[in-house]
């Protein structure tokens, strides 16, 4: 029997560009914890794990990596029409793909990505699927035919009992991901990925990509933190006095 | 180099890179200082397939190819040359001979212990009086009924201090010159096998290199690997592959040094600008980068030739020669770029400098490789 789990993963542009090496696309580091949650549930309850990702062909490497980590099936949703998708269009596509994978018990997302970090795709997809969703889960336990999850928000620890089918977004702190090895690599490439496009999902061009988005990214620029430096003259108690005055002026104490 | 890699190669590289950065990089300096073999990390690596990279799945291996192998060795060595050496030697000159020349019983008995990393492999050819002149070894293995009795002394055994399985090269026929040497598989704990003190080395200090003595060490005849007299041909076949691994190791060390030098030269300011802007240094970096690139490509070529089933001895000798030589040059330049800080143990560059040096010596010195390459070109 077991639990059918779908994990939505994302590739991000590699932040490490060292010397002569740059991995152009890498698995969103937060997704490792999410995948680990899926692996543990499968170890306890049996079932299958499918990794799902929407993006260009270069996202295939991350999906291969999830299969090397232990996912049973990797599906890439990719075609030109999907380019320029905002989180709403993305969640619309993911929801269509997840419906195609029914029946399922659990849909997992990471609470955050290391790039755009909107945290929206999980909730938007869950709403599209009319699934219960708990976000920012930092702890999971087996209940009786359910999961007991915790989230830590605004200084409060919330505990929920969640019945399948449900969606969760997993906070990175929830679990320490296992190391990935090489023992599955050969079979990953023998098995390969599945590739779907928007027509496979029964969607029209107008529902996806830039056309299907309700927001458009205008520009993206790195903000630079301007740091000032004030030297306090004198020594000991005199400097301490100056420091206290300065902090009071800045409303920091 | 990336242009030559398949999706599978790239995935292997990415996985190795991630593990090495997270688990090996943070401890590399410490284990070098303490000359400590990091068993905890090694156990993890065993579970992940690092000790059976090209071995078949049926024997617990990852069934990857030689290109995958060199990518893994390079990544490990970039973080820690001593561990890169351990994994390279284990895979190419300990496990490989068993897989290529062992009987089905021998493979079934020992391969799973090796591929899982539960037992580390060691290759024991060199002796106090026989280094480059491998045929000058004096260790003897006398056949007595169903046993061989081995006597002899082995030096500079990589992984010696921690190995569970030793491949011992010894003369089974004292009168037959090169054709009188055989290989015997000896397990740690066999009476008469004595693992000596660890060598205190200049570099690759976290690798437990030791001497190994055999005093009337009795092993069953079933422990003979291949035929009697096939020892040197087995050894040389293994070293042909081992060399590709060392080429990758040296390239990894050089790459680590290059990246540190680039990073440092962008941060360090002298005469009002980052020192990277001074032409003397930017010229050095250009030289270093070109050499590292060439070394990686040569290792890749040797690996690819092997994977395609083509003759690769020349290519592997050239790759090892070139890569080890440039690793000394590049690490030296990287140290120079760091100035006084490069000479201090507070920075990793001096470790790269020390680690690189030995790559010109083991698995065939540069001089031996030049002989081999020249012979390959000119004929005998």
Domain containing residue A97: 3-207
- Whether the upstream peptide bond of residue A165 has omega within 30° of 0, thus cis, is yes
Which class for A213: exposed (0-12), middle (13-18), buried (19 or more C-beta within 10 A)? middle
Cα–Cα distances in Å, from B71 out to B25, B53, B96, B271, B308?
A: 16, 11, 18, 40, 17
pLDDT tens for each residue of B174-215:
888 889 999 999 999 999 999 999 999 999 999 999 999 999
CA distance A215 to chain B (A): 34
Which residue among B10, B17, B44 places its CB closest to the CB of A179? B44
Helix or strand (DSSP H, E) at B46: helix B39-48
Contacts for B7 with CB less than 8 Å, ≥ 6 apart: A60, A61, A64, A189
What CATH number does the domain containing A187 carry? 3.40.50.620
pLDDT tens for each residue of A119-173:
899 999 999 999 999 999 999 998 877 999 999 888 899 999 999 999 999 999 9
pLDDT tens for each residue of A32-50:
999 999 999 999 999 999 9
Question: Of all residues in chain A, what percent carry a pLDDT higher than 70?
Answer: 96
Strands A3-8 and A47-54: parallel
Token duo for residue B217: 């060490």
Token duo for residue B234: 């087995």
| Separation between Cα atoms, residue B18 and residue A70, nearest integer Å | 16
For residue A214, tell me if it sits in a domain. Answer: no
Q: What is the mean pLDDT of residues A20-41?
A: 85
Strands A132-142 and A166-170: parallel
- Which residues of B form the catalytic set? 363
Q: What is the mean pLDDT of residues B208-229?
A: 97
**Dihedral sign of CA atoms B250, B252, B255, B260 in order:** negative
User: Are B68 and A64 an interchain contact pair (Cβ–Cβ within 8 Å)?
Assistant: no
For residue A20, tell me if it sits in a domain. Answer: yes
The answer, for B88 touching chain A at a CB cutoff of 8 Å, is no
CA distance A19 to chain B (A): 5
Q: What is the mean pLDDT of residues B117-133?
A: 96
User: Are A20 and B50 an interchain contact pair (Cβ–Cβ within 8 Å)?
Assistant: no
The answer, for B287 touching chain A at a CB cutoff of 8 Å, is no
For residue A63, tell me if it sits in a domain. Answer: yes
pLDDT tens for each residue of A186-228:
999 999 999 999 999 999 999 999 999 999 888 878 888 888 8
The answer, for A146 touching chain B at a CB cutoff of 8 Å, is no
Q: What is the pLDDT of residue A20?
A: 43
CA distance B301 to chain A (A): 19
Could you tell me which residues are beta bridge partners of residue B153?
Answer: B213
Contacts for B69 with CB less than 8 Å, ≥ 6 apart: B53, B54, B91, B92, B244, B245, B248, B303
- How would residue B379 be classed by pLDDT, with cut points 50, 70 and 90? confident
Q: Which of A91, A124, A112 is nearest to A30 (CA)?
A: A112
Q: What is the mean pLDDT of residues B113-137?
A: 96
Contacts for A188 with CB less than 8 Å, ≥ 6 apart: A64, A67, A68, B8, B11
| Separation between Cα atoms, residue A145 and residue A123, nearest integer Å | 23
Please tell me chain A's helix, strand, coil percentages from 3-state DSSP, rounded to the nearest 5. Answer: 30, 25, 40
For residue A171, tell me if it sits in a domain. Answer: yes
pLDDT at A23 over 80: no
Q: Are B193 and B245 in contact (CB under 8 A)?
A: no
CA distance A21 to chain B (A): 9
Q: Cα torsion at B188, B192, B193, B198 (round to 10°)?
A: 120
Helix or strand (DSSP H, E) at B346: none
Give the residue from A26, A33, A182 with the most B CB atoms within 10 Å of its CB, the best one to mutate.
A182
Contacts of A188 in chain B (CB under 8 A): 8, 11
Question: For residue B21, what is the DSSP state?
Answer: I
For residue A22, tell me if it sits in a domain. Answer: yes
pLDDT tens for each residue of B300-320:
999 999 999 999 999 999 999
Phi, psi of A45 (to 5 degrees): -115, -5
Mean pLDDT of chain A: 91
**Dihedral sign of CA atoms B220, B224, B225, B226 in order:** negative
User: Are B72 and A65 an interchain contact pair (Cβ–Cβ within 8 Å)?
Assistant: no
Which residue among B15, B68, B258 places its CB closest to the CB of A180? B15
pLDDT tens for each residue of B309-353:
999 999 999 999 999 999 999 999 999 999 999 999 999 999 999
Q: Which of A38-42, A111-115, B117-121, B162-166 has the lowest mean pLDDT?
A: A111-115
Q: What is the mean pLDDT of residues A66-90?
A: 95
pLDDT at A22 over 60: no
User: Are B14 and A179 an interchain contact pair (Cβ–Cβ within 8 Å)?
Assistant: no
pLDDT tens for each residue of B244-273:
999 999 999 999 999 999 999 999 999 999
Token duo for residue B288: 């270093």
For residue A130, tell me if it sits in a domain. Answer: yes
Which residue among A26, A64, A181 places its CB closest to the CB of B48? A181
Contacts of B63 in chain A (CB under 8 A): 186
The answer, for A190 touching chain B at a CB cutoff of 8 Å, is no
Strands A156-162 and A147-153: antiparallel
pLDDT tens for each residue of A6-20:
999 999 887 654 444
- How would residue A26 be classed by pLDDT, with cut points 50, 70 and 90? confident
Domain tally for chain A?
1
- In chain B, what are the domains? 2-119 (1.10.540.10), 122-229 (2.40.110.10), 233-378 (1.20.140.10)
The answer, for B294 touching chain A at a CB cutoff of 8 Å, is no
Q: Which of B298, B305, B253 is nearest to B1 (CA)?
A: B298
For residue A244, tell me if it sits in a domain. Answer: no
SS3 A217: coil
Token duo for residue A141: 């336990």
Q: What is the pLDDT of residue A236?
A: 87
Q: What is the pLDDT of residue B5?
A: 94
Q: Between A and B, how many residue pairs show a Cβ–Cβ distance under 8 A?
A: 73
Please report, in angstroms and rounded to a whole number, the separation of the first and last CA atoms in chain B: 34
pLDDT tens for each residue of B54-78:
999 999 999 999 999 999 999 999 9
User: Are A20 and B255 an interchain contact pair (Cβ–Cβ within 8 Å)?
Assistant: yes
* Number of other CB atoms surrounding residue A210 within 10 Å: 14
Q: What is the mean pLDDT of residues B280-295?
A: 97
Give the residue from A11, A14, A19 with the most B CB atoms within 10 Å of its CB, the best one to mutate.
A19
User: Are A19 and B7 an interchain contact pair (Cβ–Cβ within 8 Å)?
Assistant: no
**Dihedral sign of CA atoms B340, B341, B345, B349 in order:** negative
| Length, in residues, of chain A | 253
Cα–Cα distances in Å, from A9 out to A35, A80, A197, B169?
A: 9, 19, 17, 52
Which residue among B7, B44, B293 places its CB closest to the CB of A61? B7
Which residue among A18, A61, A189 places its CB closest to the CB of B259? A18
């Amino acid at each position: 029997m077991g639990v059918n789990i779908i994990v939505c993963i994302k590739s991000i542009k590699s932040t490490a560009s060292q010397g002569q090496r740059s991995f152009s696309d890498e698995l969103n580091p937060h997704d490792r914890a999410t995948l680990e949650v899926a692996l543990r549930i499968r170890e306890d309850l049996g079932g299958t794990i499918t990794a799902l990702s929407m993006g260009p062909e270069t996202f295939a490497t991350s999906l291969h990596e999830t299969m090397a980590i232990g996912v049973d099936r990797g599906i890439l949703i990719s075609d030109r029409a999907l380019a320029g998708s905002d989180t709403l269009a993305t969640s619309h596509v993911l929801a269509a793909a997840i419906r195609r994978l029914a029946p399922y018990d659990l849909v997992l997302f990471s609470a955050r990505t290391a790039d755009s970090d909107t945290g929206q795709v999980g909730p938007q997809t869950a709403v599209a699927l009319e699934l219960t969703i708990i976000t920012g889960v930092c702890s999971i336990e087996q209940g009786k035919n359910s999961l007991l999850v915790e989230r830590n928000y605004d200084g409060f620890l919330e505990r929920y009992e969640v019945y399948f089918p449900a969606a969760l977004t997993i906070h990175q702190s929830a679990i320490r991901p296992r190391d990935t090895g090489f023992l599955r690599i050969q079979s990953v490439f023998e098995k390969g990925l599945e590739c779907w496009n928007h027509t496979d999902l029964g969607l029209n061009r107008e529902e996806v990509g830039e056309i299907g988005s309700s927001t458009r990214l205008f520009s993206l620029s790195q903000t630079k933190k301007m740091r000032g430096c004030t030297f306090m003259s004198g020594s000991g108690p005199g400097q301490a006095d100056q420091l206290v005055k300065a902090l009071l002026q800045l409303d920091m104490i | 180099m990336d242009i030559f890699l398949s999706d599978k190669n790239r995935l292997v590289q990415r996985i190795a890179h991630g593990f090495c950065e997270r688990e090996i990089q943070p401890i590399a300096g410490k284990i070098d200082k303490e000359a400590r073999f990091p068993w905890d990390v090694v156990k993890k690596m065993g579970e992940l397939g690092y000790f059976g990279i090209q071995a078949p799945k049926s024997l617990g291996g990852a069934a990857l190819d030689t290109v995958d192998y060199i990518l893994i060795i390079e990544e490990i060595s970039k973080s820690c040359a001593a561990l890169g050496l351990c994994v390279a030697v284990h895979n190419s000159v300990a496990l490989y001979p068993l897989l290529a020349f062992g009987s089905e019983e021998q493979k079934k008995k020992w391969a799973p212990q090796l591929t899982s990393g539960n037992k580390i492999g060691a290759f024991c050819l060199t002796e106090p009086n026989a280094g480059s002149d491998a045929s000058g070894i004096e260790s003897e293995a006398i056949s007595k009924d169903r046993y061989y009795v081995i006597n002899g002394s082995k030096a500079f055994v990589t992984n010696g201090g921690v190995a569970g399985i030793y491949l011992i090269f010894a003369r089974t026929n004292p009168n037959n010159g090169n054709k009188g040497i055989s290989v015997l598989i000896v397990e740690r704990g066999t009476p008469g096998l004595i693992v000596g003190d660890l060598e205190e080395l200049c570099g690759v200090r976290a690798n437990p290199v030791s001497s190994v003595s055999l005093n009337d060490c009795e092993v069953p005849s079933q422990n003979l690997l291949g035929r009697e007299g096939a020892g040197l041909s087995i050894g040389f076949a293994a070293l042909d592959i081992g060399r590709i691994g060392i080429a990758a190791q040296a390239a990894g060390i050089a790459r680590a040094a290059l990246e540190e030098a680039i990073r440092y030269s962008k941060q360090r300011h002298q005469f009002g600008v980052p020192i990277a802007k001074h032409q003397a240094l930017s010229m050095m970096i250009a030289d270093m980068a070109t050499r590292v690139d060439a070394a990686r490509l040569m290792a890749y070529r040797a690996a690819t030739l092997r994977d395609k089933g083509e003759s690769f001895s020349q290519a592997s000798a050239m790759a090892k020669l070139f890569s080890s030589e440039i690793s000394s040059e590049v690490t030296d330049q990287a140290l120079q770029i760091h100035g006084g800080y490069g000479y201090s143990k507070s920075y990793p560059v001096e470790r790269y400098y020390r680690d690189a040096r030995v790559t010109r010596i083991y698995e065939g010195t540069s001089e031996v490789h030049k002989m081999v390459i020249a012979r390959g070109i000119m004929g005998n």
